[in-house]
Structure 1
């Protein structure tokens, strides 16, 4: 089992080299950014786990967030805030995919804002006047915390928690979208 995990990690790292510059080496700027992101990732078990996860997820959202520095900082924050709220970062990514399509400045017709589409009343309830829902860390922290609250309230029932998160309690469409994204894009091997 450990050998399969190591092999998977090596294949993931090889995918980074497949996108390397003309000499076959990873682009120096991307290498430096990955190194910095890994060093700042204190929520991983070890450096190797950080490398594997960041490289893998970076490849999965490159089309959504093309800038290497922005993408790696975003992923580091997603992992950190998801860990803080005790949810998987992949679940947070699936919610972000469905809620905003990875658009930092997304604004819904109901007024929800940012990556995780947080309603502004939450700022009035629990945040300070300097907080902004378009600030990545603020949005991720609030979104992950709200999702954790609903998971606890629904005793771990992901479908019901997602319905509450989205304000669509009793309707299966939204949870189905998130769970489908989770299984097809974020948990795939």
Structure 2
């Protein structure tokens, strides 16, 4: 009887895990095209940034606003170029991404949440299995931002452009107003 109970519990656990997989498999197929194999911690180059940006005005304005969080000029500019590139590549507003990062990690590259989320955009390690590669380091600047922007873009598409619901899904707090409102407040007061 004991073995039968263990077998039933194991089957139920496997069933619930597999029941969620179709959703994640769809995300994986959609998102894997956006995640690349690069494992370096290099920022976007000036030429990559220039290919997407009309001028450097955005970089100068955002650099002034970000200075209190990232005092080093070179690190700040590399960070901003990469945010701009990855956000624009995913069809997202770079200032929205700055707001998400401020709320998620306070611009701390090596932030780890109590749940185990990592880096600037607080990416959960399970995303590596779903949309990435085992050699991806979620603390690497470009990888972290690529994952975060790809995931947020997916949720925004899934929610048909509803930023409030997409941000709730991103944070795992769908249905609660606190997180999306924090991001909107930062977006409007600091980064717009």
| TM-score class, shorter | 0.7 to 0.9
Greater relative CO (CA pairs within 8 A, separation 6+): 2
Contact 2:48 2:85 in 1 (8 A): no
- The equivalent residue for 2:178 is 173
Where in structure 2 are there 5+ consecutive unaligned residues? 1-43
- The equivalent residue for 1:126 is 131
1:62 to 38, 60, 67: 67
Contact 1:37 1:72 in 2 (8 A): no
Q: Which has the larger radius of gyration?
A: 2
Runs of 4+, deviation exceeding 2 Å:
36-40
* Residue 103 of structure 1: how far off its partner (Å): 0.2
Aligned residues: 148
* Residue 122 of structure 1: how far off its partner (Å): 0.4
C-alpha separation between the residues in 2 aligned to 1:155 and 1:40? Answer: 29
Please give the root-mean-square deviation of Cα atoms over the aligned residues, in Å: 1.4
C-alpha separation between the residues in 2 aligned to 1:53 and 1:61? Answer: 12
1:150 to 130, 155, 158: 155
When normalised by structure 2's length, the TM-score is 0.74
* Residue 126 of structure 1: how far off its partner (Å): 1.7
C-alpha separation between the residues in 2 aligned to 1:104 and 1:62? Answer: 15
Counting only pairs closer than 5 Å after superposition, residues 45-124 of structure 1 correspond to structure 2 as: 46=54, 49=55, 51-124=56-129
When normalised by structure 1's length, the TM-score is 0.76
C-alpha separation between the residues in 2 aligned to 1:127 and 1:163? Answer: 22
* Residue 39 of structure 1: how far off its partner (Å): 4.4
C-alpha separation between the residues in 2 aligned to 1:126 and 1:177? Answer: 27
Aligned with 1:142: secondary structure? helix
Where in structure 1 are there 5+ consecutive unaligned residues? 1-35
C-alpha separation between the residues in 1 aligned to 2:47 and 2:89? Answer: 18
